[in-house]
Amino acid sequence: MHDVDSIARPADALVSAWFRGRRYIDDRDRGDISDLLYALLRHHARIGWWLARHGRDGEPRNRLLAWLALDQEKSFGGGTWGGMTRDQVSGLFNGREAAPSVLSDHERALLVKLQGCPINHPAMPEEVRVECPPWALDQLRRRFHDSFEHEMAALLTVPPLDLRVNPLKSTREATLEALQALGLPAMPSPMAPYGIRVNRRVSLARLPMLKSGEVEIQDEGSQLVAVLVDARPGERVVDFCAGAGGKTLAIAAQMANKGHVIACDVLDRRLKRAAERFRRAGLHNIETRALASETDRWVKRHKGSYDRVLVDAPCSGTGTWRRNPDARWRPLGPGLDTLLPLQASILASAARLVKPGGRLVYATCSMLAEENEEQVAAFLAAHPAFRVVTLREAAPQLTGSAHPDYLSLTPARHDTDGFFAAAMQREAAPPPGEAPAPE
């Protein structure tokens, strides 16, 4: 917990590094430790409220003691701990072997005050009860209105493990059988055509199909963004903000290894890691290209050359909070004041790559209208050569979206991460002699 508080890296990366240095810890204990850490992160605001109520600071040991003492029965995202007596906690904090040091009198007094208190107290402000950071409160309330608390509660649940089958190496049916043979409760994802859902904590070391490239870990919502891109075999496609390459993999597999996919990013080290994933998946139609910025000269040189361009823009990540609960309180990237103009610039620059009749898809893992619908509206107003391709037209199989024209997913409505994606088309070139619309 000290590392999560003090080191500017995502919690999942810190946990992985911590376990790599302690290979003697078995899978069961690793799972229990991870569950406990993530429970503390999901209850960060509420635990802090209780500690402040009793004049204590939020240092990690105090948070752990509060979590063990508070009654979690009616908690959003609760766990298997909680409601312990002072003597029960003292038995854990005995100072022997790997156990924490013995409790102080001050800590014993805190346990007595908190024992049996509900984690959710009527006096808590709503934003504390639903674990919403101040910087996102107004935007999320405007987005969800009367459903605000319901949606925020869903963001506090433990997400399932979603997998995407690589159709070049296996089928969903064969992979389901293999997972069920391992004793895992695997089922087809409700919406994604190659998706599989496992509603149980799983040691990834138990999944040989991950190492062979037969499956990739990918939230169902992310898989549906690739469905909306709808890349066809033989086409030329750009994933403009490819990152670790998850959507690139889905798009290239969609194309049956035919055609040409370019995975771009401004961080070359991420592209190098992605390239290893591409090789493991058996995909040979992907080229990686590091860009100096969104306005790299390469974009100008390849203007109007691509059938499909995906812009998975950097964003606030509000849709990923159930997987990354630490991101609520310790954003590691730029704030909205920086993100909004950056998103607009990236979208406008990437749009230059789309050929007449080609498709541009703008996507985020955010649930804020400022990063989603409002960005698309501003882009269309400034670029009349593009029009919206409605969800019904672009991917009629994707039903139940929270928006009539765009793909809009939330954990409460779809049991996916929060995702947004809008498809747009550059209109075909005008007839000879007719001037093109200005951009």
What confidence score (pLDDT) does residue 431 get? 45
Bridging pattern class, strands 386-389 and 286-290: unpaired
Q: CB-based burial of residue 22 (10 Å sphere; 0-12 exposed, 13-18 middle, 19+ buried)?
A: exposed
Q: Judge whether 111 and 342 are in contact, CB under 8 Å.
A: no
Question: 353 with 296: CB under 8 angstroms?
Answer: no
Cα separation, 309 vs 59, in Å, equals 46
3-state secondary structure of 158: coil
User: Can you give the pLDDT of all 439 residues of the chain as single tens digits?
Assistant: 777 887 878 888 888 888 888 888 888 888 888 889 999 999 999 999 999 999 999 899 999 999 999 987 655 444 556 788 888 998 889 888 878 899 999 999 999 999 889 999 999 999 999 999 999 999 999 999 999 999 999 999 999 999 999 999 999 999 999 999 999 999 999 999 999 999 888 888 889 999 999 999 999 999 999 999 999 999 999 999 999 999 999 999 999 999 999 999 999 999 999 999 999 999 999 999 999 999 999 999 999 999 999 999 999 999 999 999 999 998 788 899 999 999 999 999 999 999 999 999 999 999 999 999 999 999 999 999 999 999 999 999 999 999 999 999 999 999 999 999 999 999 976 544 434 444 4
Say what the pLDDT of residue 293 is.
95
Q: At what angle do helices 27-42 and 60-69 cross, to 10 degrees?
A: 90
**Which pTM does this prediction carry?**
0.92
* Nearest in space to 221 (alpha carbons), one of 38, 398, 350: 398
Residue 264 annotated as catalytic: no
Helix (H, G, I), strand (E, B) or coil at 195: strand
Which of 122, 129, 136 is CA-nearest to residue 153? 129
Q: State the pLDDT at residue 201.
A: 84
Answer for the pair 17, 92: CB distance below 8 angstroms, yes or no.
no
Cα–Cα distance for residue pair 204/19, rounded to 1 Å: 13
Q: Report the C-alpha gap between 95 and 86 in whole angstroms.
A: 16
**pLDDT given for residue 361 in this prediction:** 98
Spatial neighbors of 245 by CB under 8 A, at least 6 apart, are 239, 263, 270, 271, 273, 274, 275, 277, 278
Tokens of 167: 């159709």
> Which one of the listed residues 132, 241, 264, 365 is annotated catalytic?
365
Angle between helices 60-69 and 105-114 (to 10 degrees): 40
